[in-house]
Amino acid sequence: MQTTQKRNTTLVVFVDNKNKTGEVRMYNQPRQRGQDESDLPLVFQGGMGIYVFSPGAAKKVSLHKRCVGTVSGTGMHLVLPRLLQLGDEGGRYRRALKAFPDQEMATQILERYFVPNGISLKERFKNIDQFSLNPSRELIELTIVANFCQVWLAKEGHNGLIAVNFLEKIQMPHLYAVYGVLLARVDYVLVGAGIAMQIPAVLDKLIQHEPATYNTYVSGAEKALIFQSHFIPRDFLRCTLPELKRPLFYPIIGSSSLAQIMTKSGQLQIDGWIVEENEFAGGHSAKPRGKLILNEVGEPLYGIRDEIDFKQLNDIGLPFYLAGAYASPEKLAYAQSVGASGIQVGSIFALSDDSNINPALRAYMRIEGYNDRLVVFNDLLASPTGFPFKVVHMPNTLGEPLIYSARRRVCDLGGLLQPYLRDDGTVGYRCPAEPIQSYLKKGGKREDTINTICLCNGLHSVVDLGQRLRNGTTLEPPVATLGKDLSFLRHLMSHENDSYSIEDAIRYLLKDQKGSL
């Protein structure tokens, strides 16, 4: 690849490995709110589920020049209490709680959940209130503080950039979770699994500590009926309100046409994009556009309508990053050649020694991935959200039919509860992964329950935060997600039992980027 630059234009001569063609492409390289192109990040860390990356892991990424570490905001109101009940090894979260602006709120949470030396292996974690359109004050405060702690710890002691990743589909916690990360001065807000049209206005309101609302989808309700969550920050924080900055907002999208739709009105402050290739990216992804067609093993097939139009993205004039099978220096170069500022990668970090994935599960995935035997299935049915979800098939996890069928259905966390309209006009809450009879009594369809996985419990278990079952001897079975492309393992490992660190992964990704290491 040869590159010459003149002002904001990059002329690239690039051999396209996918199409086996040599092309000359010219794209405008956008600037980002006062930044020179050389200052833009090259690598974003992916979100990858619930607490796969600790704040410390995100920090290790962000300490590298032109890399952005990412913490997941999904389910943090469930994660923080469990970490405190396990004894808060090293005192990290107690340190973060001491930094929270409202010490009365932080102290109440510490007193409620912290267990010195941790609960025993036979003790269950405390139940947490489930979200609704009108959540309890206790749950709101917990959500604010938990998200603050994640970002504060990730940013502690350095000037690197930290992002938080949310799923738009999980709407009811948004106002409180976003406020928490704003209090910690997060640098980027990334939102996928849905069209995040409401987030810019929420950011604008909450950085001023002003009241904010979020329209919430309620199944069965007519479009004319609007259901909202409401949040007034000044009713919760009993302290001097700090001055906040507006983070950069990057929607995670699966098509260039969605980027056009979101920018068409000109009223949304969007600072850039993460553009996923849905066939390959880990976690949740969008369904194929048009008629649904499955391949021979039952995965959705993505076609021409799902291909990314790079000209459309460049014409919008904002930075964009490509995700989904981009974890290599060659793919980073390819992304730059089509006008992208860089890449987002998750699986390469998730399989490093610095991730929170259970070490035995992580080692199994590395061995099988190294030998090109690991099955990562793009499952249409697994997620209660209705989005396709990449499930890793491996023993003793919910990716195996026997383990799935043996698990007793329970919905005790409620992270993916969906509001629905009851016959009497009130709002109820249900999840396709809850006990089937309970779901049917709430008006749900039986077909929605088939092979649906309790991601809330499964994703907690994969990072060793799983609930103890009532027999006192076993835990909720885990479920793991990865992207489809694990070819990076052959470059980072010399044999199947080898391992690597986040630093090793970054050196590999940026080895051809002069001045970036």
* CA–CA dist 145, 179 (Å, integer): 9
pLDDT of residue 21: 36
Using 50, 70 and 90 to split pLDDT, how confident is the model at 472?
A: low
Residue 19 has pLDDT above 90, yes or no: no
Looking at domain 2-358+499-509, does it have CATH number 3.20.20.70?
Answer: yes
Within a 10 A sphere around the Cβ of 285, how many other Cβ atoms?
A: 27
Using 50, 70 and 90 to split pLDDT, how confident is the model at 356?
A: very high
Q: How many helices (H) and strands (E) does the chain have?
A: 17, 17
Q: List 345's β-bridge partners, or say none.
A: 45
Within a 10 A sphere around the Cβ of 485, how many other Cβ atoms?
A: 23
Relative to beta strand 273-276, strand 320-323 is parallel
Taking only the tens place, the pLDDT of each residue in 413-461 is 999 999 999 999 899 999 999 999 999 999 999 999 999 999 999 999 9
- CA neighbor of 188 nearest in space, from 214, 140, 151: 151
Measured CA distances, 238 to 73, 144, 185 (Å): 24, 13, 19
Sign of CA dihedral 481, 483, 484, 486: negative
User: In the chain, what are the domain boundaries?
Assistant: 2-358+499-509
Angle (nearest 5°) at CA 50 between 292 and 389: 10
Residue carrying structure tokens 């990743």: 165
pLDDT of residue 38: 65
Decide: 354 and 502 in contact? Cβ < 8 Å. yes
Residue 517 has pLDDT above 80, yes or no: no
Angle, helices 76-85/137-155, rounded to nearest 10 degrees: 80
Residue carrying structure tokens 């979200």: 131
Taking only the tens place, the pLDDT of each residue in 294-352 is 888 888 888 888 888 889 899 888 999 999 999 999 999 999 999 999 999 999 999 99
pLDDT of residue 224: 67
pTM of the model: 0.89
Of 8-17, 256-265, 304-313, where does the model show the most confidence? Answer: 304-313
Within 13 Å and on the Cβ side, how many CA atoms surround 401?
1
Taking only the tens place, the pLDDT of each residue in 97-143 is 999 999 999 999 999 999 999 998 888 999 999 999 999 999 999 99
- The DSSP annotation for 198-248 comes to SHHHHHHHHTTT--EEEE---BT--TT---EEEE-GGGT--SPPPP--PPE
Using 50, 70 and 90 to split pLDDT, how confident is the model at 20?
A: very low
SS3 call for 414: coil
Residue 5 has pLDDT above 80, yes or no: no
Three state DSSP letters for 59-74: HHHHCCCCEEEEEECC
Taking only the tens place, the pLDDT of each residue in 364-403 is 999 999 999 999 999 999 999 888 999 999 999 999 999 9
Residue 427, burial from CB neighbour count under 10 angstroms (0-12, 13-18, 19+):
middle
Report the amino acid identity of residue 509: L
pLDDT of residue 84: 98
* CA–CA dist 346, 165 (Å, integer): 12
- Which tokens hold the place of 164? 């938080």
- Which tokens hold the place of 457? 């419990």
Using 50, 70 and 90 to split pLDDT, how confident is the model at 193?
A: confident
Decide: 312 and 448 in contact? Cβ < 8 Å. no
Residues of the chain with pLDDT > 70, as a percent, come to: 91
